[in-house]
Amino acid sequence: MKQPKILLLVVIALLPLILVSCIPGGTQSARGWSGTAVDDGVIYVGTVDGRVVAINSSTQIQKWSYSTDPPATIYTTPIADGDLVYVGTYSGQVLALSTLARSQNLTFPQRGYGEWKWDCPKENAKSNAIVADLLVSEDTIYVSSSNGRVYSLDKEFGDQNWESEILDEKQRKLWTSPVIHDGKLYVSTFDGHIYALALETGDLLDWSFESEAGFASSPVIDEDTIFLGSFDRYLYAVNVTIDSDEPMWKFPEEKPAGNWFWASPVIHEGIVYAGCLDDKVYAVEAETGKKLWEFDAGNPVVSSPVLMDNLLIVIDESGTVYVFDLSTEIENEATPLKTTSIGADVRSSFCAQGSLVYIRGEDNWIYVVNIDMGEVSWKVNLTIEE
């Protein structure tokens, strides 16, 4: 009699742990959502198993693959620059990979080929993960880190030029990319600030902007105005020449949108195109914040839209590709020129070249969509088969 009672008590006591383990929690594991980049006929992408892969877009054959060591999740979209490919990892490293050295599968880093690796200091932060895309300028790479600082690295050797102050003391997470404008680096933070840093030293400049809510998307800049989305469900336009915490405008004008503006907007001929997690794409006048048209995709728009000549390409989370012709007049509600579904979820950034759109699906496949034909031209599985 005594043993079953004790057993019952053990089960009751362990019940919370058992249930907590069995029922899916609110957290999701870090899988990464590296986007695609195309350079000189080669597609570069980070995979969910921590590899950077180069695929020949003509032959659809993998040119090379580099496994991060130890394996690290990749959120950043690789940036190809000459013979080098730059990528940041969730384990806090920035890697410069030589396409020549990787094609020969040589040990990393091959300094003779210009390869290097930079380890982001963790300091007292919980993480030094690099989530935001790297910003590559002429001879410098700017890195936002989850330790709350921005770093400037020498593009040739990977040496650290400077580190900024901790910009987000509360969150210590910089998951948005900086942007350069007029010799200054602008960074948005989760605690609702936009800071201006000196490009050469990383020192905080006098100008800053403060909002009540945190900024969800990376800033983009056009002329003197920064456009970015916020967790308060507004799209902000902030003039960097005006020293005020009042934005130029907030969109929507009255009540907030149905969800966050997670993706960075794009600007074309004075119009801001912004995807929103409320399933819509909005076209807003850059000068005034007045809505020109909207389109309901029926699913959240997580990835930033891409512009190609007069075409606006939008992909919703369910993997449907919408193409809008911006040369025709659109009023109130837009109708896409073409619609194609890849049949896989999409959260990553994507790129377009010619009439092809290169997309990494959440299923770890690369899909190439021909927007003229309105179909998936070809696809490649990025998962290594056992």
Partner 1 sequence: MSFLDVWYFIIGNPVLNVLIALSHILGGSFGGAIVVLTIIVRLISWPLTKRQLKSSKAMQEMQPKIQELQRKYGKNQQKLQQETMKLYKEAGVNPLGCLWPMLVQLPIWIALYQAIMGALATTPESLLGLAHRLYSWDIVNQAIPLSSTFLWLDLAGQGDIILAIIVGGTMWVQQKMTQAPAVDPRQQSTSRMMLLMMPLLFGFISLLVPSGLALYWAASNIIGIITQYFFTGGWGYLKFRSPSQSTQ
Interacting residue ranges for partner 1, rule: CB under 8 A: 1-2, 5-6, 9-10, 12-17, 19-20, 23-31, 33, 75, 126, 131, 170-171, 173, 175, 190, 212-214, 231-233, 256, 258-260, 262, 277, 300, 302, 347
Identity of the residue, 303 or 320, whose beta carbon is nearer to partner 1 in the bound complex: 303
Smallest gap from residue 230 Cβ to partner 1 (A): 9
Cα 312 off chain centre by: 18
Query: By C-beta, is 16 or 183 nearer to partner 1?
Result: 16
Q: Considering the complex, what minimum distance in angstroms separates the CB of residue 214 from partner 1? A: 6
- Pick the closer one to partner 1 by CB: 43 or 277: 277
Compare residues 1 and 61 and give the one whose CB is closer to partner 1.
1
Shortest Cβ distance from residue 351 to partner 1 (Å)?
Answer: 20
The span from the CA of 32 to the CA of 50, in Å, is 8
Per the DSSP assignment, residues forming a β-bridge with 359 are 367
CA-CA distance, 286 to 284, in Å (whole number)? 6
Q: How far is the CB of 95 from partner 1 (least distance, A)?
A: 19
Q: Which residues contact 169 (CB under 8 A, 6 or more apart)?
A: 148, 191
Least distance (Å) between residue 270 CB and partner 1: 29
Nearer to partner 1, 173 or 379 (CB): 173
Nearer to partner 1, 315 or 326 (CB): 315
Shortest distance, position 177 Cβ to partner 1, whole Å: 13
Q: Are 278 and 284 in contact (CB under 8 A)?
A: no
Residue by residue, DSSP assigns 225-289 as EEEEEBTTS-EEEEETTS--SS-SEEESSSS--SS---SPPEEETTEEEEE-TTSEEEEEETTT-
